[in-house]
Chains A and B, each alone.
Chain A
Amino acid sequence: MAESKARVPAIEGWFRMDGSAPCLLGVRCRACGTVYFPRESFCRNPGCGHGELEETQLSRRGRLWSWTDNRYAPPPPFVAKQPFEPYTIAAVELGAEKMVVLGQVASGVDASAFRVGQEMELVLDALFEDDTNEYVIWKWRPVAA
């Protein structure tokens, strides 16, 4: 009955559950403009330190900084598929935010033609599932050329 499972975020409040235009949710300091993902409860810029933080949506696209993969199942708390399926992890540099954010690469994407600097975009994809839910997380995939 896999088709009846509910799609729920693997973690609350880290990204927008929007099938067509998902994005990461961070915070921005009202005083200095620094962006934080994951959320912070205070501004970590030592030259600021007093700003209030407001929720902000991070850029949905960025440039590939580097990538690698995992050929062996990690230990818990990772929930590995049985049998284990290797997955790729990408580090993507967001232009406006000037920060690098990690994410798995969407399942089914072949990384063998990846190059540093290529454009990537954020999507939602399954991380793991249990009997009732499919747990969703943000992932990166190349922007179609």
Chain B
Amino acid sequence: MADPVAVLGVGMHPWGKWGRSFVEYGVAAARAALADAGIEWKDVQFVAGGDTIRNGYPGYVAAATFAQALGWTGVDVTSTYGACATGAQAIDVARARILAGLCDVALVVGADTTPKGFFAPAGGDRPSDPDWLRFRLLGATNPIYFGLYARRRMEVFGATAEDFARVKVKNSRHGLANPNARYRKAVSLDEVMASPVVSDPLRLLDICATSDGGAAVVLTSMEFARRHAANPVTIAAVSTVTPCFPNTIIEMPNFSTDSAAAVAAPEVPFKDSIARRVYESAGVAPEDLDLAEVYDLSTALELDWYENIGIAKPGGAEKLLRDGETTLGGRIPVNASGGLACFGEAIPAQAISQLCELTWQLRGQAAGRQVEGARLGLAVNQGLFGHGSAVLAKR
């Protein structure tokens, strides 16, 4: 079991379609996190930046970009990229530096500016890049993969389009009072069901948008934190796992799964292994969780996550949802923040924003969406090309 590090400060720039530079969002989030921690920028000894791949060179060297914008201080930096898992990697690098005794105070920042509409591959002809080829040869957008998973859930577990819509209804209510959410409007079941089909069975309101946004956290050693806060939220474990061969579930942006003809599929499928890693490293079980933030790229994917993180048995997610157990006030609220349904996806910021939400929840500061008495929270997501991401936060 690894030692904890403290989450001394958190901050976000609201999600939206602001059309400004990602640097502005990152700097605003960083300043908010520093203020929340009660420390100065010059006290930061390490910056971990989550890269964005759609904003030119400054996006590939995000940590230096943010450090320069905040004012060069000679601070050490590292920039990381792991698709939607980018933020968890940045968090984990900062955490490792602290646990190794190389620094006491680290700032983790991720921010993105996104184009309108579907996510398209980065520009240029790249006929050896599967992310380019899947658009060229298949027309396989991200919603195509979400649609395949959703249809599979209906066929195997008897899920219905109404079940998927209920996830959106729940999350839209959760996000109503969240000042950082982009969409703060209660959505009805009828509204979801009346929205146009994008990739059958998923409708427009089942699929998350792409957003601009920024998130930052100040991580410190426990010793440093105790001089600044009485009872800080801590990170108990982080998961940045990759799949085990053969990975037999079709995954974005691939054309095929691995073949299990020569080697049997692993006992624990990839998505199940993501949260399992943090449970094992912190010595907790899914039953111990008070809340979870999961990556609801689609409504149907949220249901998959219930099973992947072990709060429902395979095929049990719809009942957990229908019984209201994952709604605020239920046994294990999921996406109390409103989730991607209310935020839209700002890739390098997303996993960091999940930790911001867990921190506010565990401090009892999540006004209008508070999970009463929350002590242990899980944030989980997955990035394309085999990136698992989970953070377990505790108070």
A104–B136 Cα distance when bound, in Å, is 12
Whether A70 lies near B144 (C-beta < 8 A) is yes
- Contact bitstring A94-108, B, C-beta under 8 A = 1, else 0: 001111111110000
Residues of A that sit less than 8 Å from B by CB: 10-11, 29, 32-38, 44-48, 65-72, 74-80, 87, 89, 91, 96-104, 115-116, 127, 137
User: Separation in Å of the A129 CB from the closest CB of chain B?
Assistant: 14
A91–B155 Cα distance when bound, in Å, is 13
User: Separation in Å of the A106 CB from the closest CB of chain B?
Assistant: 14
Chain B residues lying within 8 Å of A76, measured Cβ to Cβ, are: 120, 135
**Given A71-B199, A77-B125, A100-B257, is A45 in contact with B262 using a C-beta cutoff of 8 Å?**
yes
Whether A101 lies near B255 (C-beta < 8 A) is yes
**How many contacts between A and B, using CB within 8 angstroms?**
136
B139 at the interface (CB under 8 A from A): yes
Stretch of B146-154, B271-279, B349-357 contacting A (4+ beta carbons < 8 Å):
B146-154
Whether B151 lies near A35 (C-beta < 8 A) is no
Q: Which of B136, B202, B258, B259 has the most chain A CB atoms closer than 10 A to its own CB?
A: B259
Q: Which of B130, B246, B256 has the most chain A CB atoms closer than 10 A to its own CB?
A: B256
Chain B residues lying within 8 Å of A137, measured Cβ to Cβ, are: 137
B43 at the interface (CB under 8 A from A): no
Chain A residues lying within 8 Å of B197, measured Cβ to Cβ, are: 71
Chain B residues lying within 8 Å of A100, measured Cβ to Cβ, are: 248, 250, 256-257
Chain A residues lying within 8 Å of B127, measured Cβ to Cβ, are: 11
Whether B199 lies near A99 (C-beta < 8 A) is no
A102–B130 Cα distance when bound, in Å, is 13
- Contact bitstring B109-146, A, C-beta under 8 A = 1, else 0: 00000000110110001010010110111111101100
CB contacts under 8 Å to A, within B191-216, are 196-202
User: Separation in Å of the B213 CB from the closest CB of chain A?
Assistant: 22
**How would you classify the secondary structure of chain A's contact residues: helix, strand, loop or mixed?**
loop
Chain B residues lying within 8 Å of A103, measured Cβ to Cβ, are: 138
Chain B residues lying within 8 Å of A102, measured Cβ to Cβ, are: 138, 140, 250, 254-256
Chain A residues lying within 8 Å of B140, measured Cβ to Cβ, are: 74, 89, 102
The listed residue (A66, A67, A75) touching B117 by CB distance below 8 A is A75
Whether B199 lies near A75 (C-beta < 8 A) is no
B132 closest partner in A (C-beta): A77
B57 at the interface (CB under 8 A from A): no
Whether A74 lies near B261 (C-beta < 8 A) is no
Q: Which of A66, A75, A76 has the most chain B CB atoms closer than 10 A to its own CB?
A: A66
B130 closest partner in A (C-beta): A38
Chain B contact residue count (CB 8 A cutoff): 47
B156 at the interface (CB under 8 A from A): yes
A46–B201 Cα distance when bound, in Å, is 37
Q: Which of A35, A71, A77, A127 has the most chain B CB atoms closer than 10 A to its own CB?
A: A77
Whether A68 lies near B138 (C-beta < 8 A) is no
B263 at the interface (CB under 8 A from A): yes
A18–B276 Cα distance when bound, in Å, is 47
Whether A74 lies near B135 (C-beta < 8 A) is yes
User: Separation in Å of the A49 CB from the closest CB of chain B?
Assistant: 10
29 A/B residue pairs, CB under 8 Å, sorted by A: A33-B261, A34-B258, A34-B259, A35-B259, A38-B130, A44-B258, A45-B245, A46-B245, A65-B148, A65-B250, A66-B148, A66-B149, A66-B152, A67-B148, A68-B201, A68-B202, A69-B199, A70-B198, A71-B198, A72-B118, A74-B118, A74-B139, A75-B117, A75-B120, A98-B259, A99-B248, A100-B257, A103-B138, A137-B137
B148 closest partner in A (C-beta): A66
The listed residue (A46, A67, A96) touching B261 by CB distance below 8 A is A96
The listed residue (B132, B139, B155) touching A66 by CB distance below 8 A is B155
A11–B118 Cα distance when bound, in Å, is 24
Whether A70 lies near B139 (C-beta < 8 A) is yes
Chain B residues lying within 8 Å of A68, measured Cβ to Cβ, are: 143-144, 147-148, 150-151, 199-202
A79 closest partner in B (C-beta): B136
A72–B286 Cα distance when bound, in Å, is 39
User: Separation in Å of the A137 CB from the closest CB of chain B?
Assistant: 6
Whether B144 lies near A89 (C-beta < 8 A) is yes
User: Separation in Å of the B200 CB from the closest CB of chain A?
Assistant: 5
User: Separation in Å of the A68 CB from the closest CB of chain B?
Assistant: 3
B260 at the interface (CB under 8 A from A): yes
Chain B residues lying within 8 Å of A45, measured Cβ to Cβ, are: 245-246, 262-263
A103–B121 Cα distance when bound, in Å, is 19
Chain A residues lying within 8 Å of B248, measured Cβ to Cβ, are: 98-100
